[in-house]
Amino acid sequence: MSKSVVVLVSFLLCYAVLHCDGAASDIQLDAKAQSTHRIDSLNLLSYTFLLILTVLTIWLFKHRRVSFLHETGLAVIYGLIVGAIIRYSGSPSHVLNMQVFANDPKYNSSLPPDTVSLHFPVKGPYVKTNKTFQYTFRGEIADPVENEIDLKATFDPEIFFNIILPPIIFHAGYSLKRKYFFRNLGAILTFAIIGTTISSFIVGALMYGFVQLMPAKLASSITFLDTLYFGALISSTDPLTILAIFNDLHVDVNLYALVFGESVLNDAVAIVLSGSIQNYEERYQSRSGGFETKAFFRAVGDFFGIFMLSLLIGAVMGCVTALISKFTRVRDFPLLESALFVLMSYSTFLIAEASELTGVVAVLFCGICQAHYTYNNLSDDTRVRTKQMFELLNFLAENFIFSYIGVSMFTFPKHHFDPLFILTGFTCAAIGRAANIYPLSFLLNLGRKPKIPANFQHMLFFAGLRGAMSFALAIRNTMSEARQAMLTTTSLIVIITVIIQGGATMNLLQWFQIPVGIDEETEALSHQGHNGNTTPRGDWNEISEPDLTRLNEKAFLARIWGSFDTRYMKPLLTHSRPTLLETLPVCCNPIARLLTTTEQMTQEGQNKPNRDSDSDLCIEENDFTNSDLRASSHRPIHSISGHQV
Amino acid sequence: MSKSVVVLVSFLLCYAVLHCDGAASDIQLDAKAQSTHRIDSLNLLSYTFLLILTVLTIWLFKHRRVSFLHETGLAVIYGLIVGAIIRYSGSPSHVLNMQVFANDPKYNSSLPPDTVSLHFPVKGPYVKTNKTFQYTFRGEIADPVENEIDLKATFDPEIFFNIILPPIIFHAGYSLKRKYFFRNLGAILTFAIIGTTISSFIVGALMYGFVQLMPAKLASSITFLDTLYFGALISSTDPLTILAIFNDLHVDVNLYALVFGESVLNDAVAIVLSGSIQNYEERYQSRSGGFETKAFFRAVGDFFGIFMLSLLIGAVMGCVTALISKFTRVRDFPLLESALFVLMSYSTFLIAEASELTGVVAVLFCGICQAHYTYNNLSDDTRVRTKQMFELLNFLAENFIFSYIGVSMFTFPKHHFDPLFILTGFTCAAIGRAANIYPLSFLLNLGRKPKIPANFQHMLFFAGLRGAMSFALAIRNTMSEARQAMLTTTSLIVIITVIIQGGATMNLLQWFQIPVGIDEETEALSHQGHNGNTTPRGDWNEISEPDLTRLNEKAFLARIWGSFDTRYMKPLLTHSRPTLLETLPVCCNPIARLLTTTEQMTQEGQNKPNRDSDSDLCIEENDFTNSDLRASSHRPIHSISGHQV
């Protein structure tokens, strides 16, 4: 069945291509834009076709219970095949490029123009006329002479940051299993922030050292900032494949939370870190070239400033959405409500980008806030709709980017293959990952009650697949040869880790003897000593101790936040109990009354829906009350499950 | 509440703008692309903000039961306000344009280049270097000297055809109430195809005549092809507003079907017609200039060829999706299934565009086929997900385009206000609409059993609001002054009709005494003479006659198609009964067995879901069996309801 579809689509594709060539001779000038449009359509069509193929194959794999390859791995492989076909077949459709010189006397800016009007003599069939065409700014290029860009099946790198990544990152935030995320907050933050920074600098330093030893001419052109940038981009992980398998197998939720939480946050850290490095480079490259202490601290300031401000914008917009959905009855019109939800989330990205902050980070924290607060206020229709829509968008965006990584290996003109450099890249990436996980796990285990056992550490190490973010950062700047070599290395690391590490996950789980088949509910029950139900769970069994020790398990940070959240944030932003009237001091009563809805006051009867969505709270207010805990844990948690494909 | 949001967003907006100005002095060359990106973000942000405002206001209107203004009208009004603010406030951020001349000796094509490399001397802080910047083709411009394009809040017109229109049109097809659509197929096709063509030519001819009488200099530059193009684009209608009100008030479903069906199809006709006119113009403008019989017939051929081929691609892709969803068990994985559905539908658009056909038409018929066949095979999850997603996309796209129409009245640089031309445009558009509805209704009533009463005709006339398609076609080409005047006229017609006609719908319904509050089910019941339930329904009461006369009511075309559909298409593409084994001749049994699923064979027990989705069939196989009919009509019709906002 699927074969006939393939045949049909290929036929139509061929028809379109042939038709395109056939018409090329009598192409009209006015049809120029139209022809560009057709090429764009064909490009997009080949990716759509790739994705359809991926979807059908993955269905076949799932149907036949083949599980050695995840859909992202498949998308990459198909991408590679199609890329090779595009590269080595068909006529090369080179882009016509013209060299022109700036000599417009009326132009008086020191910056390059936004648009260029080209006066071009057109040899029409009857008369030779001078026509004017407009060209828009695209960017600086390094070598104008040999610059025959092949437009075949490549896109502007900025598309990744503005179209592909935002839904992926938002979905990650929106589908976070917050209960376990917050419970492991300390470890996640340590791995994500400290770990990623360590990894970046170690990879950067090692790469720089190795490159200096290389005989290649590359060595002379690579600066420490270049390798540091590489360190930052290669330190972001993307464990889609692994999480999908974790999800299927019901791996321990805490391990899941660690892997997922770390990868989500280190994307944010990596993008801001690489941005700071870029800024540092741009500001100071023209001067001495050496290390500048002042500039370094400014870059550090940049890093924290941009990260915190982006986080703030995301959180504020999330809370504003929560407030709107709480205090208006927009939920009576689910379509309006969904539209509002999507628009507010998207505007978070835009506000951050327009303020020169990092939209991706803002959108991540917006997603977390939307899930944590707004979600509770939404109508059922909107909950389902937004969940399903972002799930689908995420699926499409993810598979698109992975098939693009595959295709671009062959079609992107700015690859630079240097085997030694690539080998070094692989080695350093592995060392950097190890330097993130093992030392920090050791330190964390000193203070942490449910320790991170060795097999979990190994799994964390292997979960460090590289993915969309690394690739997007690497392809952003391919001006110099050094950067091109980095793109090639990054692409290969992504491809290899996704296919090999992703495919080996099952075996690794067995190898490391990591328990599978653990239900979320079971896990929650085990906290209360109901051990009858649980499967043996290695070192983690020690957490099934009496409830009173549970408080020790929680990080100080998580405890403070959890209490603040339950007492002030939740009552303010959602319809949950206790209300602000109960938690705020008496003097604030008038304000508290204003901020408490009647629904909130009278919800005793309709407790269930709110309890349900509340069950992901990191700390229940009445943490000691055994009965209450039992009641909440007996209810299945309807939180959004990450990658359910 | 919503006020504080507005304040907050405006604050952030201001911050972004100020920040942007503040940084402008020390802008780095490498940050040029980034700055463009920031402006893009701000542009998008202003529209997102506009849409948020629209959503909140419309919620307030609905909440307070204000109904004199539909959301699209509101989006237009807000757009006008924001457009005026952008225009008359703030520093003009002019685009820097440079004139360059083609004198690259190595360039040897007679076509303008795809990219231009500009060598530009950069006066850096330390050294003056020659850098090279790349520019990409945008299009031909008429007057390079006075061409100071204002990039503020304007988009490439092609965005409408490639991003905004496809989901709107697909949704229209996907949400078609097929039962009533097919029942009125004859009238709808007549109005849409013949009517739109008549209207185009009448408007074109009238406009040309009027313009020749005008004293303005415009007269000399306008050709008959220009006015014909205007006729085509102004003949497409977009009765969103009216349909939303029809939906709320439960206006007679046949009237609904006529208005909706006609508007959906005349969009398709208008876009193909204008394309043919454009082609005719491009091919023959440089020759004699007069009327060319051969060329005219080629244009007519173009019209039918493009329309039919686009229709075919859409229908084929829809059927292929149906086949895939029937013969694979992809429905076991709803996410994969939804992804497949979306990808197949999107690739329909791309295939048509890549083949130089009309993607919008293809996507419309793809939507109809997806709803008619594929929908029956989908899992519940995918049904809900795709319905809700396209509903939301449609909502956002629609409101975006209407707010853009408002904003662009002030910010789009290529408007040409000519009061006389605008007045003529309004008059001709109204005459054209009348020339479509009244004569054709008269002719249709000669052969039609349930006649179209006069009040329905008036309502059809007034339902001719102009909308997204007219605007998108008008803004596509604004090279000449004539075309600019047409854009202005079209924009104004859209704005006025949406606000005034849209707002007056309620009163018009009362005025024309059109019965409201009619349930679909009630309508279906009345076919069997169960008149007890129905409200008096004017002329249309005559259809509630004995069942035997029902066959006469149906157009010959609809009857043929309905029978073919039930006997061959549905059994082939869905799991419905009868199977092909029963309908195909005995000699084809082997093939029939291959094309019949076991699910189809054994579905007697699980009859209900299939019957349910089948109830929109235009003709039941057993049309005479009264009991069967009653059984089917007692079941509420769960078809997708169009505009439920």
Residue B481 pLDDT: 81
Count of Cβ atoms closer than 10 Å to residue A207 Cβ:
27
The mean pLDDT value for B495-517 works out to 84
| Residue B9 pLDDT class (50, 70, 90 cuts) | very low
Count of Cβ atoms closer than 10 Å to residue A257 Cβ:
22
**Which residue among B100, B123, B339 sits closest to A392, beta carbon to beta carbon?**
B339
The mean pLDDT value for B19-25 works out to 34
Residue A512 pLDDT: 86
pLDDT digits (tens, 9 = 90+) for B299-315: 888 889 999 999 999 99
Chain B residues within an 8 Å CB radius of A45: 347, 350-351, 354
CA A180 to chain B, closest CA, distance in angstroms equals 25
| Residue A79 pLDDT class (50, 70, 90 cuts) | very high
**Which residue among A34, A98, A391 sits closest to B116, beta carbon to beta carbon?**
A98
Chain B residues within an 8 Å CB radius of A476: none
- Residue A337 above 90 pLDDT? yes
Interchain pair A132, B144: CB under 8 A: yes
Residues 6+ away with beta carbon under 8 Å from B107: A96, A98, A99, B113
| Residue B346 pLDDT class (50, 70, 90 cuts) | very high
- Residue A236 above 80 pLDDT? yes
Contact predicate A179/A637, CB 8 Å: yes
Residue A434 pLDDT: 93
Interchain pair A36, B102: CB under 8 A: no
Residue B143 pLDDT: 60
Residue B479 pLDDT: 75
| Residue B491 pLDDT class (50, 70, 90 cuts) | very high
Q: Which of A306-315, A367-376, B569-578 has the lowest mean pLDDT?
A: B569-578
Chain A residues within an 8 Å CB radius of B346: 48
Best-predicted range by mean pLDDT among A581-595, B53-67, B334-348?
A: B334-348
CA B575 to chain A, closest CA, distance in angstroms equals 16
| Residue A134 pLDDT class (50, 70, 90 cuts) | confident
- Residue B514 above 80 pLDDT? yes
Interchain pair B33, A137: CB under 8 A: yes
pLDDT digits (tens, 9 = 90+) for B433-459: 999 999 999 998 887 777 888 888 998
Residue bearing the bigger pLDDT, B253 or B124 = B253
Residue A526 pLDDT: 40
Rounded to the nearest integer, the mean pLDDT of chain A is 76
Q: B598: buried, middle or exposed (CB in 10 Å: 19+, 13-18, 0-12)?
A: exposed
CA A445 to chain B, closest CA, distance in angstroms equals 39
**Which residue among B19, B109, B392 sits closest to A96, beta carbon to beta carbon?**
B109
Residue A633 pLDDT: 37
Report, in angstroms and rounded to the nearest whole number, the Rg of chain B calculated over CA atoms.
Answer: 27
Q: Which of A239-253, A455-469, A544-558, B463-477 has the lowest mean pLDDT?
A: A544-558
Interchain pair A339, B110: CB under 8 A: no
Phi first, then psi: give them for residue A625, nearest 5 degrees.
-70, 105
The CA distance from B291 to B279, in Å, is: 14
pTM over 0.90: no
Residue B276 pLDDT: 86
Residue B392 pLDDT: 93
| Residue A320 pLDDT class (50, 70, 90 cuts) | very high
Q: In what order do the strands lie in the sheet with B97-101?
A: A97-101, B115-123, B128-141, A128-141, A115-123, B97-101
CA A129 to chain B, closest CA, distance in angstroms equals 12
Interchain pair B135, A140: CB under 8 A: no
Residue bearing the bigger pLDDT, A284 or B526 = A284
Nearest by Cα to B50 from B151, B149, B152, B153? B153
Residue B64 pLDDT: 82
Chain B interface disruption, residue of A101, A175, A374, A480, most B CBs within 10 A = A101
The CA distance from B296 to B229, in Å, is: 14
The mean pLDDT value for B14-32 works out to 41
The mean pLDDT value for A484-492 works out to 92
| Residue A167 pLDDT class (50, 70, 90 cuts) | very high
Percentage of the residues of chain A whose pLDDT score is greater than 70: 74
Interchain pair A116, B98: CB under 8 A: yes
Contact predicate A47/A404, CB 8 Å: yes
Distances (CA, A) of B385 to A146, A166, A393: 49, 21, 12
The mean pLDDT value for A494-514 works out to 86
The CA distance from B415 to B54, in Å, is: 25
Interchain pair B286, A384: CB under 8 A: no
- Residue A641 above 50 pLDDT? no
Residue A535 pLDDT: 38
pLDDT digits (tens, 9 = 90+) for B366-407: 999 999 999 989 999 999 999 999 999 999 999 999 999 999
How do strand A97-101 and strand B115-123 relate by DSSP bridges?
parallel
The mean pLDDT value for A97-126 works out to 72
Q: Which residue of A has its CA nearest to B359?
A: A41
Contact predicate A374/A572, CB 8 Å: no
Interchain pair A356, B329: CB under 8 A: no
Residue A490 pLDDT: 94
**Which residue among A118, A138, A327 sits closest to B102, beta carbon to beta carbon?**
A118
The mean pLDDT value for A415-442 works out to 91
Interchain pair B99, A117: CB under 8 A: yes
Q: Which of A328-332, A381-385, A598-602, B262-266 has the lowest mean pLDDT?
A: A598-602
Interchain pair B141, A132: CB under 8 A: yes
Q: Is A117 helix (H, G, I), strand (E, B) or coil?
A: strand
CA A278 to chain B, closest CA, distance in angstroms equals 10
Best-predicted range by mean pLDDT among A434-438, A480-484, B70-74, B118-122?
A: A434-438
- Residue A7 above 70 pLDDT? no
**What ipTM was assigned to the predicted interfaces of this complex?**
0.81
The mean pLDDT value for B167-174 works out to 90
Interchain pair B96, A113: CB under 8 A: yes
Residue bearing the bigger pLDDT, A93 or B279 = B279
| Residue B79 pLDDT class (50, 70, 90 cuts) | very high
Residue A342 pLDDT: 94
Interchain pair B52, A328: CB under 8 A: no
Residue A400 pLDDT: 92
Residue A613 pLDDT: 38
Residues 6+ away with beta carbon under 8 Å from A644: A247, A391, B335
Chain B residues within an 8 Å CB radius of A41: 350, 353-354, 359
Contact predicate A225/A295, CB 8 Å: no
| Residue A366 pLDDT class (50, 70, 90 cuts) | very high
| Residue B603 pLDDT class (50, 70, 90 cuts) | low
**Which residue among A48, A107, A125 sits closest to B343, beta carbon to beta carbon?**
A48
Chain A interface disruption, residue of B36, B135, B389, B641, most A CBs within 10 A = B135
Interchain pair A48, B101: CB under 8 A: no
Residue A519 pLDDT: 63
- Residue B606 above 90 pLDDT? no
Rounded to the nearest integer, the mean pLDDT of chain B is 76
Interchain pair A138, B137: CB under 8 A: no
Contact predicate B307/B365, CB 8 Å: no
Contact predicate B51/B75, CB 8 Å: yes
Interchain pair B347, A115: CB under 8 A: no
CA B508 to chain A, closest CA, distance in angstroms equals 26
The mean pLDDT value for A548-572 works out to 70
| Residue A313 pLDDT class (50, 70, 90 cuts) | very high
Q: Which residue of A has its CA nearest to B143?
A: A132
Interchain pair B138, A138: CB under 8 A: no
Residue A352 pLDDT: 93
Phi first, then psi: give them for residue B99, nearest 5 degrees.
-90, 130
CA A113 to chain B, closest CA, distance in angstroms equals 5
Phi first, then psi: give them for residue A527, nearest 5 degrees.
-65, -25
pLDDT digits (tens, 9 = 90+) for A15-47: 444 443 333 333 344 455 566 677 778 888 889
Residue A554 pLDDT: 55
Residues 6+ away with beta carbon under 8 Å from A469: A165, A233, A236, A238, A267, A270, A271
Residue A148 pLDDT: 47
CA A67 to chain B, closest CA, distance in angstroms equals 15
